[in-house]
Structure 1
Amino acid sequence: MAEKVEKVHRTKRVFINNLDSYASKCIGKFLSTCVVGASVLGSGEQDVEEDDERLSQDQKIKEGTFHIVGTCANKNSCDDGRPTYVLEEYFVSSMEDLLECLMECDIIIYNITEHADQIEEASWAISAIHAQKARFSQPKMYILISTVMTWALSKPVDPNDSEIPFTEEDYRRRRAHPNFKEHINIEKVVVKMGKTNSSLFSTYVVASGVQYGMGEQLFHFFFKTSWLGDVPKVPIFGEGTNIIPTIHINDLAHVIQNVIDHKPKQHYLLAVDDSKNTIEEILKTITYVLGPGKTQRVPKEDAFLIRDLSQMDIDTLFVNLRIEAVYLKENFNIQWACESGLVDNIDRVVEEYKQTRGLLPVRVCILGPPAVGKSTVAERICKHYKLHHIRLKETISETLTRLESAVKMEDPEAGDSATSSELLETLRENMNQNGGRLDDQYVIRIMRDKLKSKLCRNQGFVLDGFPKTYEQAKDLFYADEDEPEEMKSKIPPFNKIIPEFVFSLDSTDEVLKNRVLNLPECLVEGTSYSQEQFLRRLSSFRDSNMEDETVLSYFEELDIHTEHIEITSSDDLEYPLVIERIIMSVGKPKNYGATSQEEEEEERRSADRRLRKESQERADTERMETAEAQQRAARWEEWSKCLEESKKREQDLLEAQSVPLRNYLMKNVMPTLTQGLIECCKTRPQDPVDFLAEYLFKNNPQVE
């Protein structure tokens, strides 16, 4: 028995392709925490929640667990640093190098559910490893994670009863979707390779249902659309009546663990949960829990307009299959995370989605006296973090408008018409009795409903100047009635709408008065910034904050410490230092950031700015060059003119100086020279020059 345990717990090296992809990453992370042989010995019966907590912690490579190695689909993702659960990442330049890496591993897992370009490599890998069986020092296992899309066009088991599900026993009758022919071809190769010498080289095909959980893949578009709340209704492409086989990604990882540990005789396995949900049921559940709660059917063709959906995703969304994984239920020891499917476990899946993608709400409250700049700061913070700006007056108006729509049946899904009508009448009557204002009980109800809306719960909010009193804060943030009594008695309350960050802006009365006085008259007229109303509001604020119980003291009781920020100038309307300080306190945004459309728009704006800048620079350069050319031409013209004048003066001077010399030559030299030339012509001496020189010397008048 001791030998068996020692053998089971021997560390095994597991290769997984594309470790940076959704499924491969989750499977690798899961296996790195599993002790080899745990599912055989039954030690894998830990609580599912404890298992998830174990997976969410910093992954450490432990003795006796699977050692994960593999490749990356995106080189840049690997450059960011090797994950802690990965022992080694392979960066191979040739198939020969990759084969040597694969030969070092005990289990080779190829996932082809996400990237079709991996099919060729997976096919090569099993053939190359199979050809090297003589070199095996110990048995190896090859697992292909394929997709149920290879069953998409299978004929019903019973033509008279289409509700009879397929099982592993029917795998020879499966027919693939036209775009998944290569998937089924490699499935057949893998199954065939494992039958030659299964004791030395065993092969398995795990046909996975549509994977969900831990951040999502195929359903991510619908999760993201619901979470953002940008559209009033989430689309359902087509009729929505098709049944999609699904499996939680951690359950798929459990199946892979059991395949490794059990080495089953069945070479082809189905990995799906027990759900038989239609795509309509799935999407309605997602949007009800996470988003607006409304869906609409749109034509199938509209799916091709969604950039986030690939052709493979669209094909999968329209599959209609009833499948049961009989073998793994009867033979494997699986601790299911979501055995009954996504719909029944939507709360858990949504929480995984938020945690995995870091989509955590940011809840901020900004308080302070009137005219201190709360709304300006709130707007800037909302823009930076993509939060919802909650102002009392606007929220009340929005609620009244929504109730009016529900009463008029303009929006039948807005709520029960009778209830809405009764509430609307109550609010109007209360406002009439109070000169257009609402009692605190109705204000608190409206604000509480707003903060509990899905958009505020998803992204977060910035409360602008509310609550104003201790009692308002206490009534607004009390614990939900459906929460346990022990939680209600604790501080802070567990209703998930209380602000995490509270900032108190303040300034001197003098600065606030100057700011209001400098406001344009068009902005002041008809508002609470008129002189009389503003002074009354400021005085009321100061008096209320002199009491023992204030809004700030309420937050202090809950251990939510207020950060005080002093506004010292009435001229600074942008508050850059205040915004920077708040951002440093709150931290980085916890949302999706810019959408692909926003990024493209920003790129276009950046390109336009760059082109305008380059055009301006070219225009400035041309203008400078033209000005310099004109200056050079003017200087050249001036210099040429001066040069001409200088030459003329010099010529006149030379001519004036040459007159005496010319006169002397004409009188004394030219006659003798002429006579000498005549004599030279007559005599024709052998050396004319010498003759002429001798002649001039003898007949020089001065010598005479």
Structure 2
Amino acid sequence: MTWARSKPLDPDDSEVPFTEEDYRRRKHHPNFTDHINAEKMVLKFGKNVKKFATYVIAAGLQYGVEEGILHTFFKIAWLGEVPALPVFGDGTNVIPAIHVLDLAGVVQNVIDHVPKLHYLVAVDESVHTLEDFVKCISKHTGPGKTQKVPKENAYLIKDLKQECLDHLLVNLKMEALFVKENFNIRWVAQTGFVENINNILKEYKQSRGLLPIKICILGPPAVGKSSIAEELAKHYKLHHIKIKDVISEAIAKLEAIVAPKEVGDGEDEGEEEEEEENVEDAQELLDGIKESMEQNAGRLEDQYVIRFVKEKLKSMPCRNQGYILDGYPKTYDQAKDLFNQEDEEEEEEVKGKMLPFDKLIIPEFVCSLDASDEFLKERVMNLPETVVAGTHYSQDRFLRALSNYRDINIEDETVLNYFDEIEIHPIHIDVGKLEDAQNRLAIKQLIKEIGEPRNYGLTEEEKVEADRRAAEERLAREAAAEAECERLEAMEAAEKLARWEEWNKRLEEVKREERELLEAQSVPLRNYLMTYVMPTLMQGLNECCKVRPDDPVDFLAEYLFKNNAETQ
């Protein structure tokens, strides 16, 4: 970037590249003033060779391993979330570049040889434009298409900073003349990015831990293949491949090719001829499919199904992230035809050792789910009517499918035998013994067997968002728990108050009843006293007052005894 605004060496010929000898004529990009100042300082300090030697290595755009600035394009392509990779501007600007390991080789040679020239250019031999880079990444990692967008659109991509954008929009032709003539480098990518894309891709995936996980789930009907596959696809971010969807998608694609298109004015003749051939092939295949379905009561012959599934497994998304193949292949022959190695030379090499298979699409993990017929029948019987209606879970179709599955898997050559023969040993899980309607235990067991996801983790923004959501959920749970606690306390207080009022009410009632009972019981006694005791007692008291004896009590007792009505 310290050369980014340099004027062409020959105004009439812009193809003449800059070399190390032209470094005094270099003009830096306005955003890289600090860099050119650093270069000048390093060269200045290196003039006194007796103290130490200094070198400036002007390296091109670095690629390889984790991909650096180009990683944004690799990630967009690998994730497959856009139909085409963006090319900013017209894309014709030439970007000098070098593989990061080749740059390391240049540095090592500087250390070993201590050259007299102190300013070196380190770039590979390619003359690639921005469009060349993006097209190559899109073709080998993503959708295979590119789209030219205004330069301003680059700011909408969060991962692209201003410094990265400056690098991508530079237009500069450079040649590492000194490095090429004087250094002995074991080049990793001397011819450039495009020619070495396969090795670059391998490095990128390994360094980023982006290795596909390919899973095949097999088992009888209603064992839970689709529900387990769906959960695993979410956990590992894989493509869930259902045969029905693959067939309908393939037929729709063929119909789209066959459908008449409006011919644009700017199309090349070669492209038109190629499209015509594609249309003819698509029409022929479509006719064969329709004929096959008519003859087989709506079912498609194995040769077509295998062809469509193989194309799906070889598609870029499945090659990048991986896949979960749901309930297919069902037989030994289907597995052999689907995963068979098409390259005859490789077939001959592996002949005699084991069955030839295509390493690109062969599953890494085969999961065999099973359960007893009684368990499966009971599971289907317990399904709601709305779920069963119109599916293969209706009684006749399910029993027929289950019987057919058992018949196929009694033979010696089963689909599981095929995987055993090629040293991919299935993971067997008896779903019936787990007694788990939601298959959570089976999923947990499979995740343990398969291991950690090999995909991009969350971005910084996604991590912040996930943390925010987790914090909100935690606060919501705490608030709900607190509200529940307050509600329970309020209920308990209300119940306590109600019980206290009820107790007081009952206590008053008991007191009233006791009072009434005492009053009722005291009436006869009062009547008796008033009739028999009180008159005599009053007379005795009056007499006692008159006489005034020394012992009034004894006098009164004697008086009552003498005048007792009952005695008399």
Whether these two folds match at TM > 0.5 is yes
State how far apart, in whole Å, the 2-side matches of 1:202 and 1:336 are: 26
The match for 2:524 is none
Shift of 1:601: 4.2
Q: Does 1:475 align with 2:337?
A: yes
Are the structure 2 counterparts of residues 487 and 600 from structure 1 closer, same or farther at C-alpha, using a change threshold of 3 Å? farther
One of 283, 287, 297 as aligned partner of 1:425: 287
Q: Verify the 8 A CA contact 1:158 1:164 in the aligned structure 2.
A: yes
Which of the numbers 61, 75, 95 marks the counterpart of 1:244?
95
Matched, 1:306 2:157: yes
Q: Does 1:200 align with 2:51?
A: yes
Conserved 8 A contact 1:365-1:465:
yes
Could you tell me which residue of structure 1 aligns to residue 8 of structure 2? 156
Q: How does 1:433-444 map to 2 (within 5 A)?
A: 433-444=295-306
Would you say 1:609 and 2:463 are equivalent positions? no
1:181 aligns with 2:33: yes
Cα 1:470–1:630 change in 2 (3 A) is closer
SS for the counterpart of 1:365 is strand
CA distance in 1, matches of 2:36, 2:241: 54
Number of residues of Structure 1 aligned to a counterpart in Structure 2? 492
Could you say which residue in structure 1 is the equivalent of 2:451?
A: 587
- Compared CA separation, residues 546 and 634, structure 1 to 2 (3 A): closer
Which residue number in structure 2 is paired with residue 346 of structure 1? 197
Following the alignment from structure 1 to structure 2, what is the Cα–Cα distance between the partners of residues 205 and 298? 35
Report the counterpart of residue 660 of structure 1 in structure 2: none
Shift of 1:224: 1.2
Q: How far apart are residue 433 of structure 1 and its match?
A: 1.9
Query: Is the aligned partner of 1:382 residue 2:233?
Result: yes
Contact 1:488 1:494 in 2 (8 A): no
Q: Map of 1:328-339 to 2, 5 A cutoff?
A: 328-339=179-190
Alignment correspondent of 1:259: 110
Greater percentage in helix:
2
After superposition, give the CA deviation of every residue in 1:503-549 in whole Å (9 maximum; x if it has no partner).
Answer: 11111110100111111111111111110011011001111111111
- How is 1:44-123 mapped onto 2 (pairs within 5 angstroms)? none
1:179–1:639 CA distance, 2 compared to 1 (3 A): farther
Is the Cα–Cα contact under 8 Å of residues 210 and 246 in structure 1 kept in the other structure?
yes
Q: 1:359-394 CA deviation, whole Å, 9 max, x = no partner?
A: 111111111110011111111111111111111111
Cα pair distance change 1:571/1:495, threshold 3 Å? closer
* CA distance 1:200–1:372, change in 2 (3 Å): same
Structure with bigger RCO (C-alpha 8 Å, 6+ apart): 2
Tell me how far apart the structure 2 counterparts of residues 639 and 374 of structure 1 sit (CA, whole Å): 63
Q: Does 1:360 align with 2:211?
A: yes
Say whether 1:404 aligns with 2:255.
yes
The answer to whether the 8 A contact 1:511-1:569 is kept is no
Question: CA 1:513–1:188 in structure 2 vs 1: closer, same or farther (change >3 Å)?
Answer: same
CA RMSD of aligned residues (A): 2.6
Residues 639 and 433 of structure 1: CA distance in aligned 2, closer, same or farther (over 3 Å): closer
Distance of aligned partners of 1:479 and 1:175 in 2 relative to their CA distance in 1, 3 Å threshold? same
Amino acid at match of 1:285: C
**Deviations 1:213-240, CA, capped at 9 Å, x for gaps:** 1121111011111111111111111111
Contact 1:487 1:493 in 2 (8 A): no
For the structure 1 residues 536 and 247, does the alpha-carbon distance in structure 2 shift closer, same or farther, using more than 3 Å as the test?
A: same
Distance 1:477 1:361 in 2: 17
Q: Is there any run of 5+ residues in structure 2 with no aligned partner, and where?
A: 264-270, 506-568
What is the match of residue 523 of structure 2? none
- Assess if the C-alpha contact under 8 Å between 2:8 and 2:16 holds in 1: yes
Query: Counterpart of 2:143?
Result: 292
**C-alpha distance in 1, partners of 2:223/2:496?**
59
Structure 1, residues 441-498: CA drift from partner, whole Å, max 9, x if none? 1111111111111111111111111101111011011113275344453535243211
The question of 1:216 aligning with 2:80 is answered: no
Distance 1:639 1:447 in 2: 78
Paired residue type of 2:378: N
CA contact (8 A) 1:480 1:495 kept: no
Preserved CA contact (<8 Å) 2:434 2:442? no
Contact residue 365 and residue 464 of structure 1 kept, 8 A = yes
- 2:220 pairs with 1:373: no
Alignment of 1:519-530 (within 5 A): 519-530=383-394
CA 167–444 in structure 1, closer or farther in 2 if over 3 Å, else same: same
Q: Deviations over 1:50-100 (max 9, x none)?
A: xxxxxxxxxxxxxxxxxxxxxxxxxxxxxxxxxxxxxxxxxxxxxxxxxxx
Q: Is the contact between residue 361 and residue 458 of structure 1 (CA under 8 Å) also seen in structure 2?
A: yes
Match of 1:445 among 307, 310, 313: 307
Shift of 1:610: 2.4
Larger Rg computed on CA atoms:
2
User: What's the counterpart of residue 328 of structure 2?
Assistant: 466
Q: 1:549 to 1:625 in 2, by over 3 A?
A: closer
Aligned-residue offset at 1:310 = 1.5
On the 8 A contact 2:341/2:347 being kept in 1, the answer is: no
SS in structure 1 at match of 2:69? coil
Corresponding residue SS for 1:461: strand
Q: What's the CA shift string for 1:343-374, capped at 9, x where partnerless?
A: 11111111111111121111111111100111
Corresponding letter in the other structure for 1:457: R
Task: Return the TM-score normalized by structure 2.
Answer: 0.82
Return the offset for 1:282: 0.9
1:576 corresponds to which of 419, 440, 458: 440
Q: Which amino acid counterpart does residue 284 of structure 2 have in structure 1?
A: E
Tell me by how many angstroms 1:632 deviates.
9.3
Higher deviation after alignment, 568-577 or 249-258: 568-577
